[in-house]
């Protein structure tokens, strides 16, 4: 065990050391500045605006953290990179990936949940054959086989439909088959695919099926650190959260400025789409328990329901120990008043 730690630490040191090397020179006064990195779950976009705002405005620096934000990509598991120490912090897939990682023995801990409710919905055409969840039976549905399929199964089971009775297919990157009505029901994140569908089909021509309406919740976009960081550098975790919360509050208070910061980094993005994304992300991040307790609250009930769902469908071998996987102690150090919008 010690051996393995050492190897991983060596790997991490090599990687972090290199990053440190490429970093620009720091002001001489900032001697106790700590280098750290945040790995996102995807490329730079408004979904992560708060972190970029905090970086741009120097909130991490104020807390003594010299933060690098590393974008993610397909098949790039944030859990993996955080567990090995290649990145200090991670904004990972969501409760689903945290559970899968814990189930496989990865030493990571969730320190905050961004999207309080399921960020995706199921969408059908208003003039099509699907008007209620009960209509899903026998219809062609596309979804992501990465957790969303289990949410769908649970929703179907609640209305007495055997998921096998629906024609559930893997969803490709494009929603065009749905727009062309080759598919009856499509899965869409509120902040990305739904925008594209709205643009092409028209917002008023769509039925949305929200998992929460069927009593299923699947919070996503989780902040994670390694167990080692959580145990050895609790103050670093706390400072990171404090700066991040500040960045997010600014982003929501001044959306135009936040989008400007994002567009500066990724100029080929569609501004209108990014504006839509930020306003949807705001809804997701301030929903549920976060409306009272503030940003990044860990709602143990919602998280627990996702845990049971994944265990029920055999994605994880057994329910994960919630208190070990989700550690509220860091985010709770920041008073709810400071975290509320």
Closer CB to other proteins, residue 99 or residue 330?
Answer: 99
How many residues bind other proteins (CB under 8 A)? The answer is: 60
**Choice from 266, 311, 322, 336 touching other proteins (CB under 8 A):** 266
Pair 211, 218: CB distance under 8 Å: yes
SS3 113: strand
CA-to-CA distance for 270 and 67, rounded, in angstroms?
27
Rule CB under 8 A: say whether 314 interacts with other proteins. Answer: no
Task: Give residues with Cβ within 8 angstroms of 249, minimum separation 6.
Answer: 50, 295, 341
**Nearest distance from C-beta of residue 195 to other proteins, angstroms:** 9
In terms of Cβ atoms closer than 10 Å to its own Cβ (0-12, 13-18, 19+), residue 52 is: buried
- Binding to other proteins (CB under 8 A) within 7-26 occurs at 7, 11, 14-15, 18-19, 22
Rule CB under 8 A: say whether 319 interacts with other proteins. Answer: no
Task: Give residues with Cβ within 8 angstroms of 98, minimum separation 6.
Answer: 79, 92, 108, 110, 222, 224, 325, 326
CA-to-CA distance for 221 and 289, rounded, in angstroms?
15
Rule CB under 8 A: say whether 267 interacts with other proteins. Answer: yes
CA-to-CA distance for 171 and 190, rounded, in angstroms?
16
Closer CB to other proteins, residue 27 or residue 267?
Answer: 267
**Choice from 47, 84, 116, 307 touching other proteins (CB under 8 A):** 84
Q: Cα angle at 113 between 107 and 118, to 5 degrees?
A: 115
Closer CB to other proteins, residue 315 or residue 336?
Answer: 315
**Choice from 38, 55, 106, 188 touching other proteins (CB under 8 A):** 106
**Choice from 33, 196, 210, 322 touching other proteins (CB under 8 A):** 196
Look up residue 253 and give its two tokens.
Answer: 């208070």
Distances in Å between the alpha carbon of 163 and those of 4, 133, 134, 206, 319? Answer: 43, 12, 11, 23, 22
**Choice from 169, 198, 286, 312 touching other proteins (CB under 8 A):** 169
Rule CB under 8 A: say whether 123 interacts with other proteins. Answer: no
* Binding interface with other proteins (CB under 8 A): 1, 3-4, 7, 11, 14-15, 18-19, 22, 39-40, 42-45, 70-77, 79-81, 83-84, 86, 97, 100-101, 103-106, 145-146, 169-176, 179, 192-193, 196, 200, 265-270, 273, 315
């Amino acid at each position: 065990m010690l051996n393995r730690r050492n190897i991983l630490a060596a790997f991490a040191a090599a990687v972090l050391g290199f990053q440190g090397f490429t970093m620009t020179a720091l002001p001489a006064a900032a001697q106790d500045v700590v280098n750290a990195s945040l790995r996102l779950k995807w490329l730079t976009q408004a979904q992560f605006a708060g972190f970029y705002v905090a970086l741009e405005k120097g909130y991490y620096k104020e807390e003594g953290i010299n933060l690098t934000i590393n974008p993610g990509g397909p098949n790039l598991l944030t859990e993996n990179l955080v567990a090995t120490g290649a990145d200090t912090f991670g904004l990972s897939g969501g409760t689903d990936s945290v559970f899968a990682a814990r189930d496989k023995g990865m030493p990571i801990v969730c320190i905050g949940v961004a999207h309080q409710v399921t960020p995706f919905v199921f969408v059908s055409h208003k003039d099509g054959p699907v008007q209620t969840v009960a209509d899903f039976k026998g219809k062609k549905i596309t979804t992501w086989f990465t957790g969303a399929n289990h949410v769908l199964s649970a929703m179907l089971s609640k209305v007495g439909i055997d998921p096998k009775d629906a024609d559930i297919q893997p969803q490709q990157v494009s929603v065009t088959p749905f727009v062309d009505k080759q598919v009856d029901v499509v899965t869409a994140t509120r902040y990305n695919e739904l925008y594209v569908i709205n643009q092409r089909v028209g917002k008023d021509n769509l039925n949305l099926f929200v998992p929460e309406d069927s009593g299923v919740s699947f919070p996503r976009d989780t902040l994670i650190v390694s167990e080692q960081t959580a145990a050895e550098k609790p103050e670093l975790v706390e400072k990171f959260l404090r700066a991040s919360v500040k960045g997010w509050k600014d982003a929501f208070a001044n959306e135009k400025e936040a989008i400007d910061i994002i567009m500066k980094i990724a100029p080929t993005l569609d501004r209108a789409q990014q504006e839509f994304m930020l306003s949807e992300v705001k809804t997701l991040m301030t929903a549920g328990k976060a409306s009272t307790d503030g940003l990044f609250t860990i709602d143990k009930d919602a998280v627990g329901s996702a845990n049971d769902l994944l265990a029920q469908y055999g994605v994880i071998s057994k329910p994960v120990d919630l208190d070990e996987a989700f550690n509220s102690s860091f985010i709770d150090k920041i008073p709810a008043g400071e975290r509320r919008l």
